[in-house]
A and B are shown apart, each in its own frame.
Chain A
Amino acid sequence: MTPKDTSSGPQSELALEGHTFEALYARLEEVAQRLEAGDLTLEDSVRLYEEGMVLAEQCQSLLTDVEQRIEVLRQRANGD
């Protein structure tokens, strides 16, 4: 179980286009809520729906195309 230090590498990046999964998911939920409120113009609701589709796709790709990253911090007392 030797944990390897993979401190870099594009695949392990959490963010996609500068957004964390958390931010993408929160926006997706917001989109759903706004669509649910139903006080939108037809144009706005279609635009929001399209945004939701893009967000969902980004979320799904973050959930599937990611590798675990492990950082072992220094032993404090014993030095490195």
Chain B
Amino acid sequence: MPPEVRAVWQVARYLRERVEGDAALRDLWIGGEISNLTTASSGHQYFTLKDNGGALRCVFFRNNNMAHRKSMLNGASLIAHGQVSFYPERGDLQFIVDFVQAAGVGALQAEFERRRARFEAEGLFDPARKRQLPRFPRKIGVVTSAKGAAFHDIQTVLERRWPLAELMLQPAAVQGEEAAVDIADAIRSLAPHGQPQRWPDVMIVGRGGGSAEDLWAFNEEPVLRAIFGCPVPVVSAVGHETDTTLADLVADRRAPTPSAAAELVAPDRLEVARGVDSLLATNRMRVTRRIAVARQALDRGVSVMDRRLPDTRPLHRGVTARADRMKHATGRYVSEARESTASVAARLRTLSPVATLDRGYALVAHEDGSPLSSAQGTAPGELLGIRWRDGSVSARVEDAG
């Protein structure tokens, strides 16, 4: 095959493609010493990072270097994060720096700090978006290893404190290559978007203690994004009290251990029971007071009524006087009537035939009792009655007229 002459730009472009396409030259940390540091009027910084065996030209753009101005000094040893790039127009191979840390900081810590700065700037840790945990959760989701002690610890605490809640374990690998994606998937399948009826009320995401490397999955972007996007409040519980992960910073609440997370997500039933009792006692006190108030009002009403009743004593006196007068008047009437009755009776007596008999006369009557007032009214043989004052006899007519 005959040789071919290439244009410079073709080779330069090829170099850029090779350099930028190489995963080993992306997202890497390089340790070295700063030299030839200049800060352009644009704010971008240019320097050389070198050690005993080599040197790399570096650029640190303004928007990235602002937070690191104090560390950027000639002669300073540091580790810088960024990617290697090739600038075809100038033929320059350069390291585009986006984050630096002092040389004494370990790689893991440096990477932690870099990510923290990045996600903080993005608002993942914003305190304003932290949600309140439910007071009495009905379902508590747990994302952790099915094998580790973390779930057992959570279960033990909740069995004692708040067995009212159902525990939903979504197992996930919590360390190793797959862990970050597995944890993220577990969070999403435990609280799937658009299916709120399947969601727990709160979720615990975590694992028991381990080395910083063991806990590293909880600093990985997929986990942070899943927690950030989780539709229910998340409590992180990673490792021990002294371990801090980025998952802790994204979560709505951070618990130092899985057991502590269990205490955080649910109340203690004994305390709640005491609360119920005290509410009941308070209610009793209030209703007792209400009854006392009603009784007082009743007493007051009665005394007001008493005072407002009309005085009936003069009336009583009036009634008595009238009754007396009536009695008096009736008495007089009765005696008058008695007197006049007596005089009428006396007069009647003088007119009565009985009075005539008293004077010695006799009364002659037919047999049927009707008076015989004339001699003409009799016939011989007729039986007549003769009545005196002191008795009667029967007599027969002998000779009429």
A binding-site residues for B, Cβ under 8 Å: 1, 3, 12, 14, 20-22, 25, 28-29, 31-32, 35-36, 38, 40, 42, 45-46, 48-49, 52-53, 56, 59-60, 62-64, 66-73, 75-77
In the docked arrangement, what's the CA distance between A60 and B269, Å?
9
Residues B132-180 near A (CB distance < 8 A): 135-136, 138, 146, 149, 151-152, 155, 158-159, 163-171
Q: Tell me which of B283, B286, B287 has the highest count of chain A C-beta atoms within 10 A of its own C-beta.
A: B283
B167, B272, B273, B290: the one contacting A45 at CB < 8 Å is B290
Tell me whether B279 and A28 are in contact (CB under 8 A).
yes
Given contacts A67-B163, A73-B170, A73-B190, 20 further A-B contacts (CB under 8 A): A1-B155, A3-B155, A3-B169, A21-B136, A21-B164, A25-B276, A31-B283, A32-B282, A32-B283, A32-B286, A45-B287, A46-B287, A56-B277, A59-B272, A62-B164, A63-B273, A64-B273, A69-B167, A72-B169, A75-B146
The size class of the interface chain B forms with chain A is 35 or more
Which chain B positions have C-beta within 8 A of A38?
286, 290
A and B contact pairs by CB, cutoff 8 A, 5 listed: A20-B138, A22-B138, A25-B272, A60-B277, A68-B155
Q: Given A45-B286, A53-B280, A22 and B136 touching (CB < 8 A)?
A: yes
Tell me whether A28 and B276 are in contact (CB under 8 A).
yes
Tell me whether B155 and A70 are in contact (CB under 8 A).
yes
Which chain A positions have C-beta within 8 A of B149?
1
A14, A28, A48: the one contacting B164 at CB < 8 Å is A14
Which chain A positions have C-beta within 8 A of B284?
49
Which chain B positions have C-beta within 8 A of A72?
146, 169, 171
Closest A residue, CB atoms, query B287: A49
In the docked arrangement, what's the CA distance between A77 and B188, Å?
13
**9 pairs of A and B residues whose beta carbons are closest in the complex:** A1-B152, A49-B287, A68-B163, A35-B286, A45-B290, A42-B294, A22-B136, A56-B280, A68-B159
Closest A residue, CB atoms, query B190: A73
User: Does B185 belong to the interface (CB within 8 Å)?
Assistant: yes
User: Does B189 belong to the interface (CB within 8 Å)?
Assistant: yes
A41 to chain B, nearest CB (A): 9
User: Does B237 belong to the interface (CB within 8 Å)?
Assistant: no
In the docked arrangement, what's the CA distance between A15 and B269, Å?
16
In the docked arrangement, what's the CA distance between A63 and B167, Å?
16
A67 to chain B, nearest CB (A): 6
B166, B273, B280: the one contacting A70 at CB < 8 Å is B166
Closest B residue, CB atoms, query A53: B280
Closest A residue, CB atoms, query B156: A1
Closest B residue, CB atoms, query A32: B279
Which chain A positions have C-beta within 8 A of B397?
none
Q: Given A1-B155, A42-B291, A52-B283, A71 and B166 touching (CB < 8 A)?
A: yes
Which chain A positions have C-beta within 8 A of B152?
1
Contact with A along B297-315 (1 / 0, CB 8 A): 0000000000000000000
Closest B residue, CB atoms, query A59: B276
Tell me whether B136 and A71 are in contact (CB under 8 A).
no
In the docked arrangement, what's the CA distance between A64 and B277, Å?
14
Which chain A positions have C-beta within 8 A of B136?
20-22, 25
User: Does B186 belong to the interface (CB within 8 Å)?
Assistant: yes
Which chain B positions have C-beta within 8 A of A45?
286-287, 290
Tell me whether A70 and B283 are in contact (CB under 8 A).
no
Q: Given A52-B279, A56-B279, A63 and B164 touching (CB < 8 A)?
A: yes
A14, A35, A64, A68: the one contacting B287 at CB < 8 Å is A35
Which chain A positions have C-beta within 8 A of B248?
none
B146, B159, B189, B277: the one contacting A76 at CB < 8 Å is B189
Contact with A along B219-241 (1 / 0, CB 8 A): 00000000000000000000000
Tell me whether B167 and A68 are in contact (CB under 8 A).
yes
Tell me whether B276 and A60 are in contact (CB under 8 A).
yes
Closest A residue, CB atoms, query B178: A77
A1 to chain B, nearest CB (A): 4
User: Does B252 belong to the interface (CB within 8 Å)?
Assistant: no
In the docked arrangement, what's the CA distance between A42 and B287, Å?
8
Tell me whether A77 and B182 are in contact (CB under 8 A).
yes
In the docked arrangement, what's the CA distance between A35 and B290, Å?
9
Q: Tell me which of A29, A68, A72 has the highest count of chain B C-beta atoms within 10 A of its own C-beta.
A: A68
B153 to chain A, nearest CB (A): 9
Tell me whether A49 and B167 are in contact (CB under 8 A).
no
Tell me whether A35 and B186 are in contact (CB under 8 A).
no
Closest B residue, CB atoms, query A1: B152
